[in-house]
Structure 1
C-alpha cells in the first residue's frame, strides 16, 4: 500500500482537524464536568437529525441505568468527536474504528472502548455506481469517486486500503476524488450523477435500500469489501470504574425480546452488543499507517 501522494492533501486534513477541534471547544464550553451528567456524542456519519432520532431511546435507557442525566452533543465532523473525548469535553462517544484509533493515539491510550455491535466484528464497506462500465475496482481508473468523511473507517480508510490492494491509487489513478462528509451524502452524490462511484458503510446502504430511499436497480453495489472491526462506544479511561461497568452492563443487557430492547437495537442497527477491547483495532491502525492517514 502507498502513502498519500499529495502533501497539500495532508496539510488540509491537519488544518481541518485543528479547526474542527476549535469549533467543538467553542460550542461545548458549558458542558465541562457537569456533576450528574453523562455527556455523549457520535461521529456524524449520518444527518444530525437521524443521529438524534437514533440516540433518543438509548439515551433514556442509559439515564435509567446510570442514574445520570444523559446529554447528547452533536459535533461538526469526525475530528471534533476525537477532540471532544481527548480534551474531556464529552464522556462517551460512538466512534468508528479509525476515529477510535485516532483518539487512542492522540490521548496516548487514555480512551477505552467498552462495547460494539455484534455486526462490528465483521463490518464491511460497499462501492456503488450508476455507470454500466464499472464492475470491479480496477474499472475506477480515470473515473470520479466519492468517499465519506476523511476520518471514516468504512467510508474512506478501508475502501482506500482495498483500492490500493487492487493496485488502484485514488490520488493518482482516478480522475477526481471527493469527500461527501457522510454515508447518506455519498449515495446522494452517486445517485445525482455528481460522481461515477462512491464508497460507504454497508449498514447505511442497506437501511437506505430498505427504506426505499435509493433504488438498487439504478444505484448498484459492484464491490463489497471483506470484513473488519469497526464501530464502538468508547469512554475516557479516567471514568470511574463503577460507571464504566454500569454503562457496559446496560448495553449487554439489551435484548430484542423486550419492546425497549427491540426499539433501541433496531435503531442502532444491531442484533446485540458485545464487549470489545483496544486490541481489536490493531489492523485498522496498521491500515491507517499504510494508507498514509496516520502518522
Structure 2
C-alpha cells in the first residue's frame, strides 16, 4: 500500500525542488540516462503500478522502434515531478503526461515542450468520486469526511476533482476532516475499499478497468459523482526534438488502427479508440484551474 501524506499547499517550485534528487532516479534505482544516439528515452507519469506501466508500454515501444528505426527505452520514474523534470532537463525525450503535468512541464520549460497526440478519449476525460459510505451521495456530503486523492500533480486524481469540489462550494482544505494522497489511482481505490478514507477521487479509465478486471466490487465501492469532461493525457516531447523524428512518432500514433493485430493490441492496452493530434492550447483550462486552486504559482 502506498503511504499517505497529510495535505499541504505546495507551490510548483517547491514540488520540483523537493523532487530534484528523486527526478534523477527510477524505481529500479538507476539514473535516468543521458542522451544516447539512436535511443528514444520514454517515460510516463506513475499513475499506476510500475509493472502495469511496463506491461502496457511494451507493444507500443516495439511499434515505435520499428517506426523510428531507434531503440526505444522505457524508464519508469519515481513520481510525477520526476517525469516533468526528466523531460525538461533532457533526461527523457518523450513522456506520457496528464493535463496538469503537461502544464507543469510547459511552465517549467518556459514553453519548450510540445504535446503531440492524445487518445480520442482524452478530449472529454472525466473523474469519478467513490465511497463505501451510505451517507455520501453528493459532493456536499463530503463535509466532515476523510478523502483520498491520487498524486498531488494528478489531473484526474486531484486537480480536476478539487476544482469541481470548489465549484460546489466544498473546500477540501477546510471542509473535510482529513485528506490524503495515495500516489496512484489504484491505490486510491484500495484506500476507499479498505476503509482508510470515506471517499476518493480517481480517473474514470482506471476505475472502469478495475471494475472490468473484478479488482473492485462496484456494489461495495460505488461511484457517487462523475465530473464533466475535460482535456487530459497526452504524449509530449521537447520542442528541440528533430522535426523529422517528431513527425515519425506522430504519424506512427495516428496510424494505429484496431483493424490490424498490432494496432488492436496497442490501442486496447492504452484504453484508446484511436490517437488524435493535440496542441498546447487544449490545456489552457487545466492551467487556469491549477492557478485558481493555488496548485500552480
TM-score (normalizing by structure 2): 0.95
The SS at the match of 2:118 is strand
Please name the residue that 2:4 is paired with: none
61, 75, 78: which one aligns with 2:63: 61
From 144, 147, 152, give the equivalent of 1:145: 147
Measure the CA separation in 1 of the matches of 2:215 and 2:103: 32
SS at match of 1:9: coil
Q: Report the CA distance between 1:114 and its aligned residue.
A: 0.1
Are 1:111 and 1:234, in contact at CA under 8 Å, matched by a contact in 2? yes
Whole-angstrom CA distance in 2 between matches of 1:105 and 1:12:
12
Alignment RMSD, CA only?
1.3
- 2:24, 2:31 within 8 Å by CA — same for their partners in 1? yes
2:248 to 246, 249, 252: 246
Quote the Cα distance in structure 2 between the aligned partners of 1:11 and 1:140: 23
Displacement, 1:30? 6.0
Look up the match of 1:25.
24
CA contact 2:23–2:81 (8 Å) conserved in 1: no
Q: Report matched runs for 1:284-295 at 5 Å.
A: 284-295=286-297
3-state SS of 1:75 partner: coil
- 1:86-135 per-residue CA deviation (whole Å, 9 max, x = no partner) reads 00000000000000000000000000000000000000000000000000
Equivalent residues of 2:67, 2:249 under 8 A apart: yes
Per-residue deviation at 1:25? Answer: 2.0
Q: 2:82 aligns with which of 80, 83, 106?
A: 80
What is the distance in 1 between the residues matched to 2:102 and 2:33?
A: 22
Q: Is the 8 A contact 2:124 2:229 kept in 1?
A: yes
CA separation in 2, counterparts of 1:75 and 1:178?
Answer: 21
Q: What CA deviation, in whole Å up to 9, does each residue of 1:126-155 have, x standing for no partner?
A: 000000000000000000000000000000
In structure 1, stretches of 5+ residues that fail to align are 1-7
Which one of 20, 32, 46 corresponds to residue 48 of structure 2? 46
Aligned residue for 2:90, secondary structure, equals coil
> C-alpha distance in 1, partners of 2:262/2:199?
38
Shift of 1:20: 2.2
| SS of residue matched to 2:175 | coil
5+ long unaligned stretches in structure 2? 1-6
Q: Return the alpha-carbon distance in structure 2 between the equivalents of residues 208 and 218 of structure 1.
A: 13
Specify which of 239, 262, 265 is matched with residue 263 of structure 1: 265
Paired residue for 1:228? 230
1:1-295 superposed matches below 5 A? 9-11=8-10, 15-25=14-24, 29=31, 31-295=33-297
Indicate the SS of the match to 2:9. helix
Asked whether the equivalents of residues 20 and 76 of structure 1 are also in contact (C-alpha less than 8 Å), the reply is no
1:21-62: CA deviation from partner (whole Å, max 9, x where unpaired): 212225565611100000000000000000000000000000
Residues in 2 aligned to 1:175 and 1:30: alpha-carbon distance in whole angstroms: 39
Instruction: Summarize deviations over 1:191-222 as a string: whole Å, max 9, x none.
Output: 00000000000000000000000000000000
Q: Verify the 8 A CA contact 2:25 2:77 in the aligned structure 1.
A: no
Aligned mates of 2:176, 2:275 — CA distance in 1 = 38
CA distance in 1, matches of 2:292, 2:10: 18
**Cα-to-partner distance string for 1:157-181 (whole Å, 9 max, x where unaligned):** 0000000000000000000000000
